[in-house]
Structure 1
Amino acid sequence: MKTAIIGIGNMGKGLASRLAGKTDLIVAGRNDQAARSLAESLGVESATIADAIAAAGIVILAVPYASALEIATSPSLSGKIVVDISNPLKPDFSGLLFGHEISAADKIQNAATGAKVVKAFNTIFAELFYASRDATAKVPVFVAGNDEDAVEKVSRLVVDAGFAVEKTGGLDAAKLLEPLGMLNIRLGYGLGRGTAIAPAWINLAV
Protein backbone atom coordinates (compact mmCIF):
# COMPACT_ATOMS: atom_id res chain seq x y z
CA MET A 1 0.00 0.00 0.00
CA LYS A 2 1.37 3.40 -0.98
CA THR A 3 1.65 6.08 1.71
CA ALA A 4 1.33 9.75 0.75
CA ILE A 5 2.72 12.54 2.91
CA ILE A 6 0.90 15.77 2.13
CA GLY A 7 3.00 18.69 3.33
CA ILE A 8 6.72 19.34 3.16
CA GLY A 9 7.22 21.54 6.19
CA ASN A 10 9.28 20.41 9.16
CA MET A 11 6.96 17.57 10.13
CA GLY A 12 6.41 16.38 6.57
CA LYS A 13 10.12 16.39 5.77
CA GLY A 14 10.96 14.63 9.01
CA LEU A 15 8.37 11.91 8.51
CA ALA A 16 9.46 11.44 4.91
CA SER A 17 13.09 11.10 5.96
CA ARG A 18 12.16 8.40 8.48
CA LEU A 19 9.79 6.49 6.17
CA ALA A 20 11.86 6.63 2.98
CA GLY A 21 12.98 3.11 2.14
CA LYS A 22 10.63 1.64 4.77
CA THR A 23 7.37 1.95 2.83
CA ASP A 24 6.17 2.77 -0.68
CA LEU A 25 6.20 6.55 -0.25
CA ILE A 26 5.00 9.53 -2.23
CA VAL A 27 5.37 13.16 -1.12
CA ALA A 28 3.38 16.20 -2.16
CA GLY A 29 3.04 19.84 -1.24
CA ARG A 30 1.67 23.10 -2.51
CA ASN A 31 5.11 23.88 -3.97
CA ASP A 32 5.51 21.13 -6.57
CA GLN A 33 9.17 21.92 -7.23
CA ALA A 34 10.06 21.76 -3.55
CA ALA A 35 8.22 18.44 -3.28
CA ARG A 36 10.16 17.08 -6.26
CA SER A 37 13.45 18.21 -4.73
CA LEU A 38 12.64 16.55 -1.41
CA ALA A 39 11.56 13.35 -3.17
CA GLU A 40 14.75 13.24 -5.23
CA SER A 41 16.90 13.70 -2.13
CA LEU A 42 15.16 10.78 -0.43
CA GLY A 43 14.80 8.54 -3.45
CA VAL A 44 11.00 8.49 -3.33
CA GLU A 45 8.16 9.53 -5.60
CA SER A 46 6.55 12.97 -5.76
CA ALA A 47 3.25 14.14 -7.23
CA THR A 48 0.69 16.90 -7.00
CA ILE A 49 -1.48 16.80 -3.92
CA ALA A 50 -4.47 15.51 -5.91
CA ASP A 51 -2.44 12.80 -7.63
CA ALA A 52 -0.76 11.72 -4.38
CA ILE A 53 -4.12 11.33 -2.66
CA ALA A 54 -5.49 9.36 -5.61
CA ALA A 55 -2.49 7.00 -5.66
CA ALA A 56 -2.22 6.27 -1.93
CA GLY A 57 -4.08 4.04 0.49
CA ILE A 58 -2.74 5.94 3.51
CA VAL A 59 -2.65 9.75 3.42
CA ILE A 60 -0.72 11.58 6.14
CA LEU A 61 -1.86 15.19 6.47
CA ALA A 62 1.44 16.74 7.61
CA VAL A 63 0.05 20.27 7.49
CA PRO A 64 -1.43 22.71 10.02
CA TYR A 65 -4.97 22.05 11.18
CA ALA A 66 -6.70 24.60 8.91
CA SER A 67 -4.99 23.17 5.84
CA ALA A 68 -5.72 19.61 6.94
CA LEU A 69 -9.41 20.45 7.31
CA GLU A 70 -9.44 21.96 3.83
CA ILE A 71 -7.78 18.90 2.28
CA ALA A 72 -10.13 16.59 4.20
CA THR A 73 -13.06 17.77 2.07
CA SER A 74 -11.56 16.06 -1.00
CA PRO A 75 -13.90 13.29 -2.21
CA SER A 76 -10.78 11.33 -3.25
CA LEU A 77 -10.10 10.54 0.41
CA SER A 78 -13.18 8.34 0.69
CA GLY A 79 -12.22 4.79 1.66
CA LYS A 80 -8.65 5.77 2.52
CA ILE A 81 -6.81 5.91 5.83
CA VAL A 82 -6.19 9.55 6.74
CA VAL A 83 -3.61 10.33 9.42
CA ASP A 84 -4.14 13.61 11.26
CA ILE A 85 -1.00 14.86 13.02
CA SER A 86 -2.27 18.37 13.77
CA ASN A 87 -2.95 20.33 16.91
CA PRO A 88 -5.56 23.12 16.44
CA LEU A 89 -3.32 25.93 17.64
CA LYS A 90 -4.20 29.57 18.12
CA PRO A 91 -2.28 31.89 15.76
CA ASP A 92 0.06 32.96 18.58
CA PHE A 93 0.60 29.32 19.74
CA SER A 94 -0.68 30.26 23.21
CA GLY A 95 -3.24 27.46 23.33
CA LEU A 96 -5.78 25.43 21.39
CA LEU A 97 -8.65 26.89 19.39
CA PHE A 98 -10.89 24.21 20.91
CA GLY A 99 -10.56 20.98 22.84
CA HIS A 100 -12.08 18.38 25.18
CA GLU A 101 -15.57 18.66 23.65
CA ILE A 102 -14.36 18.17 20.08
CA SER A 103 -10.96 17.62 18.48
CA ALA A 104 -9.27 18.53 15.23
CA ALA A 105 -9.40 14.84 14.37
CA ASP A 106 -13.18 14.79 14.91
CA LYS A 107 -13.62 17.76 12.59
CA ILE A 108 -11.35 16.21 9.97
CA GLN A 109 -13.32 12.94 10.20
CA ASN A 110 -16.56 14.86 9.74
CA ALA A 111 -15.14 16.58 6.66
CA ALA A 112 -13.52 13.46 5.19
CA THR A 113 -16.70 11.54 4.43
CA GLY A 114 -15.98 7.83 4.05
CA ALA A 115 -12.35 8.10 5.19
CA LYS A 116 -10.87 6.31 8.21
CA VAL A 117 -9.18 9.00 10.27
CA VAL A 118 -6.40 8.06 12.69
CA LYS A 119 -4.71 10.48 15.07
CA ALA A 120 -0.94 10.10 15.42
CA PHE A 121 2.35 12.01 15.73
CA ASN A 122 0.77 15.15 17.25
CA THR A 123 2.92 14.97 20.41
CA ILE A 124 6.22 14.65 18.51
CA PHE A 125 8.40 17.64 17.64
CA ALA A 126 9.98 17.53 14.18
CA GLU A 127 13.47 17.59 15.74
CA LEU A 128 13.00 14.03 16.94
CA PHE A 129 12.91 12.74 13.37
CA TYR A 130 16.55 13.73 13.01
CA ALA A 131 17.72 11.95 16.16
CA SER A 132 19.09 8.44 15.86
CA ARG A 133 16.58 5.61 15.64
CA ASP A 134 18.08 4.13 18.80
CA ALA A 135 17.26 7.37 20.63
CA THR A 136 13.62 7.37 19.54
CA ALA A 137 12.87 3.63 19.60
CA LYS A 138 11.07 3.90 22.96
CA VAL A 139 9.51 7.33 22.38
CA PRO A 140 5.75 6.75 22.20
CA VAL A 141 3.55 7.94 19.37
CA PHE A 142 -0.02 7.98 20.62
CA VAL A 143 -2.44 6.46 18.11
CA ALA A 144 -6.24 6.79 18.16
CA GLY A 145 -8.85 5.66 15.66
CA ASN A 146 -12.19 3.96 15.28
CA ASP A 147 -11.20 1.47 12.58
CA GLU A 148 -9.08 -1.39 13.94
CA ASP A 149 -7.42 -2.19 10.62
CA ALA A 150 -6.57 1.48 10.02
CA VAL A 151 -5.05 1.75 13.50
CA GLU A 152 -2.94 -1.35 12.86
CA LYS A 153 -1.65 -0.02 9.55
CA VAL A 154 -0.77 3.36 11.05
CA SER A 155 0.88 1.60 14.00
CA ARG A 156 3.15 -0.21 11.54
CA LEU A 157 4.09 3.14 10.03
CA VAL A 158 4.94 4.42 13.51
CA VAL A 159 7.32 1.50 14.00
CA ASP A 160 8.74 1.98 10.49
CA ALA A 161 9.39 5.61 11.43
CA GLY A 162 11.43 4.46 14.42
CA PHE A 163 9.04 5.08 17.34
CA ALA A 164 7.02 3.04 19.82
CA VAL A 165 3.25 2.67 19.51
CA GLU A 166 0.94 3.73 22.35
CA LYS A 167 -2.65 2.89 21.38
CA THR A 168 -5.23 5.06 23.11
CA GLY A 169 -8.52 3.67 21.83
CA GLY A 170 -11.07 5.29 19.54
CA LEU A 171 -10.85 8.64 17.82
CA ASP A 172 -12.52 10.25 20.83
CA ALA A 173 -9.09 9.97 22.51
CA ALA A 174 -7.88 12.76 20.21
CA LYS A 175 -9.70 15.17 22.55
CA LEU A 176 -7.10 14.17 25.13
CA LEU A 177 -4.10 13.86 22.82
CA GLU A 178 -4.36 17.36 21.39
CA PRO A 179 -4.16 19.06 24.82
CA LEU A 180 -1.22 16.74 25.54
CA GLY A 181 0.40 18.02 22.35
CA MET A 182 -0.23 21.58 23.54
CA LEU A 183 1.40 20.79 26.89
CA ASN A 184 4.46 19.52 25.06
CA ILE A 185 4.57 22.74 23.03
CA ARG A 186 4.30 24.81 26.22
CA LEU A 187 7.12 22.88 27.87
CA GLY A 188 9.29 23.01 24.77
CA TYR A 189 8.83 26.63 23.76
CA GLY A 190 7.13 28.50 26.59
CA LEU A 191 9.16 26.98 29.41
CA GLY A 192 12.43 26.57 27.56
CA ARG A 193 12.76 22.79 27.58
CA GLY A 194 13.55 22.74 23.85
CA THR A 195 12.18 20.51 21.12
CA ALA A 196 14.06 17.29 21.90
CA ILE A 197 11.32 16.23 24.32
CA ALA A 198 8.21 14.07 24.13
CA PRO A 199 5.60 12.84 26.64
CA ALA A 200 5.72 9.24 27.77
CA TRP A 201 3.96 6.97 30.27
CA ILE A 202 6.03 5.04 32.81
CA ASN A 203 4.98 1.70 34.22
CA LEU A 204 6.06 1.36 37.84
CA ALA A 205 6.54 -1.99 39.53
CA VAL A 206 4.27 -2.31 42.56
Structure 2
Amino acid sequence: MSIAVIGAGNMGRAIACRLVTGGHDVLLADEDTAKAESVAAEIAPLGGGTVRAAPARDAADIAGIVVLATLYDVSTRVAAELSELLDGKIVVDISNPFNGTFNGLTTPEGSSAGEEIARRVPGARVVKAFNTTFAPVLFAGTLDETPIDVLLASDDDGAKDRVARIVKSGRLRPIDAGALANSRTLERITLLLVELQGRYELDFQATLRFLPGRVEHTTFDPSLDAAAATG
Protein backbone atom coordinates (compact mmCIF):
# COMPACT_ATOMS: atom_id res chain seq x y z
CA MET A 1 0.00 0.00 0.00
CA SER A 2 1.30 3.44 -0.92
CA ILE A 3 1.51 6.20 1.67
CA ALA A 4 0.87 9.80 0.65
CA VAL A 5 2.73 12.62 2.36
CA ILE A 6 1.14 15.95 1.57
CA GLY A 7 3.66 18.69 2.23
CA ALA A 8 7.35 18.64 1.28
CA GLY A 9 8.56 21.06 3.93
CA ASN A 10 10.88 20.12 6.78
CA MET A 11 8.41 17.75 8.47
CA GLY A 12 7.17 16.21 5.22
CA ARG A 13 10.77 15.59 4.18
CA ALA A 14 11.60 13.99 7.54
CA ILE A 15 8.50 11.76 7.59
CA ALA A 16 9.02 10.68 3.98
CA CYS A 17 12.62 9.80 4.86
CA ARG A 18 11.49 7.58 7.75
CA LEU A 19 8.88 5.91 5.52
CA VAL A 20 11.42 5.20 2.78
CA THR A 21 13.79 3.87 5.44
CA GLY A 22 10.98 1.52 6.49
CA GLY A 23 10.64 0.17 2.95
CA HIS A 24 7.36 1.92 2.06
CA ASP A 25 6.28 3.41 -1.25
CA VAL A 26 5.72 7.14 -0.79
CA LEU A 27 3.83 9.65 -2.89
CA LEU A 28 5.06 13.14 -1.99
CA ALA A 29 2.84 16.11 -2.83
CA ASP A 30 3.36 19.83 -2.46
CA GLU A 31 1.88 23.00 -3.95
CA ASP A 32 5.43 23.64 -5.18
CA THR A 33 5.90 20.72 -7.57
CA ALA A 34 9.60 21.41 -8.06
CA LYS A 35 10.13 21.27 -4.30
CA ALA A 36 8.39 17.89 -4.04
CA GLU A 37 10.51 16.54 -6.89
CA SER A 38 13.71 17.83 -5.31
CA VAL A 39 12.94 16.31 -1.91
CA ALA A 40 11.91 13.01 -3.50
CA ALA A 41 15.21 12.85 -5.38
CA GLU A 42 17.14 13.62 -2.18
CA ILE A 43 15.61 10.90 -0.02
CA ALA A 44 15.05 8.17 -2.63
CA PRO A 45 18.52 6.60 -2.05
CA LEU A 46 18.14 6.57 1.76
CA GLY A 47 16.10 3.40 2.22
CA GLY A 48 14.50 0.34 0.75
CA GLY A 49 11.26 2.03 -0.23
CA THR A 50 10.44 4.30 -3.13
CA VAL A 51 9.35 7.92 -3.34
CA ARG A 52 8.04 10.05 -6.17
CA ALA A 53 6.35 13.40 -6.49
CA ALA A 54 2.64 13.45 -7.32
CA PRO A 55 -0.25 15.93 -7.27
CA ALA A 56 -2.08 15.97 -3.94
CA ARG A 57 -5.39 14.70 -5.33
CA ASP A 58 -3.69 11.83 -7.16
CA ALA A 59 -1.66 10.92 -4.08
CA ALA A 60 -4.73 10.97 -1.81
CA ASP A 61 -6.71 8.89 -4.32
CA ILE A 62 -4.02 6.21 -4.71
CA ALA A 63 -2.70 5.91 -1.17
CA GLY A 64 -4.30 3.96 1.66
CA ILE A 65 -2.71 6.19 4.28
CA VAL A 66 -2.45 9.97 3.92
CA VAL A 67 -0.15 12.08 6.09
CA LEU A 68 -1.05 15.77 6.27
CA ALA A 69 2.44 17.17 6.81
CA THR A 70 1.55 20.84 6.58
CA LEU A 71 0.83 23.74 8.90
CA TYR A 72 -2.48 23.59 10.74
CA ASP A 73 -4.31 26.14 8.60
CA VAL A 74 -3.20 24.37 5.43
CA SER A 75 -4.05 20.93 6.79
CA THR A 76 -7.62 21.91 7.65
CA ARG A 77 -8.11 23.33 4.16
CA VAL A 78 -6.56 20.31 2.43
CA ALA A 79 -8.57 17.90 4.58
CA ALA A 80 -11.82 19.63 3.57
CA GLU A 81 -10.83 19.74 -0.10
CA LEU A 82 -9.90 16.05 -0.21
CA SER A 83 -12.59 14.81 2.18
CA GLU A 84 -14.36 12.56 -0.32
CA LEU A 85 -11.09 10.96 -1.45
CA LEU A 86 -10.10 10.30 2.17
CA ASP A 87 -13.29 8.45 3.05
CA GLY A 88 -12.40 5.15 4.77
CA LYS A 89 -8.66 5.88 4.73
CA ILE A 90 -6.22 6.48 7.56
CA VAL A 91 -5.38 10.17 7.84
CA VAL A 92 -2.40 11.19 9.97
CA ASP A 93 -2.45 14.72 11.37
CA ILE A 94 0.91 16.09 12.49
CA SER A 95 -0.03 19.73 12.95
CA ASN A 96 0.33 22.03 15.93
CA PRO A 97 -2.11 24.99 15.92
CA PHE A 98 0.33 27.58 17.27
CA ASN A 99 -0.53 31.24 17.20
CA GLY A 100 1.79 33.79 15.58
CA THR A 101 3.77 34.45 18.76
CA PHE A 102 4.07 30.79 19.83
CA ASN A 103 2.54 31.43 23.24
CA GLY A 104 -0.86 29.83 22.64
CA LEU A 105 -3.03 27.70 20.38
CA THR A 106 -5.59 28.83 17.81
CA THR A 107 -8.02 25.93 18.13
CA PRO A 108 -11.41 26.44 19.83
CA GLU A 109 -11.64 25.81 23.56
CA GLY A 110 -12.12 22.11 24.23
CA SER A 111 -10.74 21.03 20.86
CA SER A 112 -7.46 20.30 19.11
CA ALA A 113 -5.95 20.24 15.65
CA GLY A 114 -6.46 16.48 15.54
CA GLU A 115 -10.15 16.81 16.35
CA GLU A 116 -10.64 19.71 13.95
CA ILE A 117 -9.08 17.66 11.14
CA ALA A 118 -11.38 14.76 12.05
CA ARG A 119 -14.42 17.04 11.75
CA ARG A 120 -13.42 17.86 8.18
CA VAL A 121 -12.92 14.22 7.16
CA PRO A 122 -15.82 12.45 8.94
CA GLY A 123 -15.38 9.28 6.91
CA ALA A 124 -11.64 8.94 7.62
CA ARG A 125 -9.79 7.21 10.44
CA VAL A 126 -7.73 10.01 11.98
CA VAL A 127 -4.52 9.42 13.93
CA LYS A 128 -2.51 12.17 15.60
CA ALA A 129 1.21 11.50 15.24
CA PHE A 130 4.62 13.16 14.83
CA ASN A 131 3.50 16.50 16.30
CA THR A 132 5.85 16.15 19.30
CA THR A 133 8.91 15.53 17.11
CA PHE A 134 11.14 18.21 15.58
CA ALA A 135 12.07 17.79 11.92
CA PRO A 136 15.90 17.61 12.21
CA VAL A 137 15.74 14.89 14.85
CA LEU A 138 13.01 13.00 13.00
CA PHE A 139 15.00 13.04 9.77
CA ALA A 140 18.01 11.56 11.57
CA GLY A 141 15.81 9.01 13.38
CA THR A 142 17.84 9.21 16.60
CA LEU A 143 19.11 11.77 19.09
CA ASP A 144 22.36 10.92 20.86
CA GLU A 145 21.94 7.38 19.49
CA THR A 146 18.51 7.07 21.16
CA PRO A 147 15.51 6.20 18.92
CA ILE A 148 12.80 8.84 18.67
CA ASP A 149 9.42 8.35 20.37
CA VAL A 150 6.30 9.05 18.30
CA LEU A 151 3.14 9.53 20.36
CA LEU A 152 -0.08 8.33 18.69
CA ALA A 153 -3.62 9.39 19.60
CA SER A 154 -6.77 8.11 17.90
CA ASP A 155 -10.28 6.84 18.55
CA ASP A 156 -9.66 4.04 16.04
CA ASP A 157 -7.42 1.39 17.58
CA GLY A 158 -6.96 -0.44 14.27
CA ALA A 159 -5.77 2.71 12.53
CA LYS A 160 -3.51 3.57 15.45
CA ASP A 161 -1.98 0.09 15.38
CA ARG A 162 -1.36 0.36 11.64
CA VAL A 163 0.40 3.69 12.04
CA ALA A 164 2.39 2.29 14.98
CA ARG A 165 3.71 -0.51 12.77
CA ILE A 166 4.74 2.00 10.11
CA VAL A 167 6.45 4.16 12.72
CA LYS A 168 8.34 1.15 14.02
CA SER A 169 9.44 0.14 10.52
CA GLY A 170 11.09 3.57 10.23
CA ARG A 171 13.27 2.74 13.27
CA LEU A 172 11.23 4.91 15.62
CA ARG A 173 9.37 3.92 18.80
CA PRO A 174 5.55 4.26 18.75
CA ILE A 175 3.85 5.20 22.02
CA ASP A 176 0.08 4.73 22.40
CA ALA A 177 -1.15 8.08 23.74
CA GLY A 178 -4.81 7.10 23.92
CA ALA A 179 -7.87 8.78 22.41
CA LEU A 180 -7.87 11.52 19.79
CA ALA A 181 -8.96 14.04 22.44
CA ASN A 182 -5.50 13.63 23.96
CA SER A 183 -4.26 15.64 20.97
CA ARG A 184 -5.16 18.67 23.11
CA THR A 185 -2.47 17.67 25.60
CA LEU A 186 0.06 16.63 22.96
CA GLU A 187 -0.25 19.97 21.20
CA ARG A 188 0.23 21.91 24.44
CA ILE A 189 3.23 19.75 25.31
CA THR A 190 4.77 20.66 21.96
CA LEU A 191 4.13 24.35 22.62
CA LEU A 192 6.25 23.95 25.76
CA LEU A 193 8.93 21.99 23.89
CA VAL A 194 9.23 24.80 21.35
CA GLU A 195 9.75 27.31 24.17
CA LEU A 196 12.30 25.10 25.92
CA GLN A 197 14.36 24.43 22.82
CA GLY A 198 14.47 28.17 22.16
CA ARG A 199 15.29 29.01 25.77
CA TYR A 200 18.26 26.64 25.71
CA GLU A 201 19.27 27.44 22.09
CA LEU A 202 19.03 23.82 20.99
CA ASP A 203 18.41 24.50 17.28
CA PHE A 204 15.57 21.94 17.45
CA GLN A 205 17.99 19.19 18.48
CA ALA A 206 15.62 17.98 21.19
CA THR A 207 12.84 15.45 21.57
CA LEU A 208 10.24 14.10 23.97
CA ARG A 209 11.16 10.70 25.42
CA PHE A 210 8.84 8.49 27.47
CA LEU A 211 10.56 6.51 30.22
CA PRO A 212 10.92 3.77 31.50
CA GLY A 213 12.99 2.57 28.59
CA ARG A 214 11.45 -0.44 26.93
CA VAL A 215 7.85 0.09 25.84
CA GLU A 216 5.90 -1.94 23.30
CA HIS A 217 2.95 -0.36 21.52
CA THR A 218 -0.29 -1.56 23.06
CA THR A 219 -3.89 -0.43 23.23
CA PHE A 220 -4.74 0.81 26.72
CA ASP A 221 -8.11 -0.25 28.13
CA PRO A 222 -8.97 2.11 31.05
CA SER A 223 -11.72 -0.22 32.28
CA LEU A 224 -9.19 -2.95 32.94
CA ASP A 225 -6.90 -0.52 34.73
CA ALA A 226 -9.78 0.69 36.92
CA ALA A 227 -10.77 -2.87 37.74
CA ALA A 228 -7.23 -3.71 38.81
CA ALA A 229 -7.04 -0.59 40.98
CA THR A 230 -10.32 -1.32 42.78
CA GLY A 231 -10.14 -5.09 42.90
TM-score when normalising by structure 1 = 0.91
1:110 positional shift: 0.4
RMSD: 1.9
Q: Is the 8 A contact 2:2 2:24 kept in 1?
A: yes
Distance (whole Å) between structure 2 residues aligned to residue 125 and residue 179 of structure 1: 15
Distance (whole Å) between structure 2 residues aligned to residue 29 and residue 191 of structure 1: 33
Give the aligned length. Answer: 204
Q: Is the 8 A contact 1:3 1:57 kept in 2?
A: yes
Structure 1 stretch displaced more, 65-74 or 127-136:
127-136
Letter of the 2:16 partner, please give it. Answer: A
Residue 72 of structure 2 is aligned to residue 65 of structure 1: yes
Task: Give the match's secondary structure for 1:156.
Answer: helix
1:193 positional shift: 3.7
Q: Is the 8 A contact 1:187 1:194 kept in 2?
A: no
Identity %: 34
Residue 59 of structure 2 is aligned to residue 52 of structure 1: yes
- Work out which of the two has the higher radius of gyration on C-alpha atoms and give 1 or 2: 2
Distance (whole Å) between structure 2 residues aligned to residue 172 and residue 82 of structure 1: 16
Q: Which residue of 2 aligns with 1:156?
A: 165
Letter of the 2:28 partner, please give it. Answer: V
Residue 97 of structure 2 is aligned to residue 88 of structure 1: yes
Instruction: Sort the Cα spacing of 1:144 and 1:20 in 2 relative to 1 into closer, same or farther, 3 A.
Output: same
Identify unmatched segments of 5+ residues in structure 1.
none
Q: Which residue of 2 aligns with 1:189?
A: 198
Task: Give the match's secondary structure for 2:210.
Answer: coil
1:168 positional shift: 1.1
Q: Is the 8 A contact 1:8 1:28 kept in 2?
A: yes
Task: Give the match's secondary structure for 2:147.
Answer: coil
Letter of the 2:77 partner, please give it. Answer: E
Runs of 4+ in 1 over 4 A off after TM superposition: 132-137
Letter of the 1:36 partner, please give it. Answer: E
TM-score when normalising by structure 2 = 0.82
Q: Is the 8 A contact 2:97 2:107 kept in 1?
A: yes
Task: Give the match's secondary structure for 1:76.
Answer: coil
Distance (whole Å) between structure 2 residues aligned to residue 166 and residue 100 of structure 1: 26
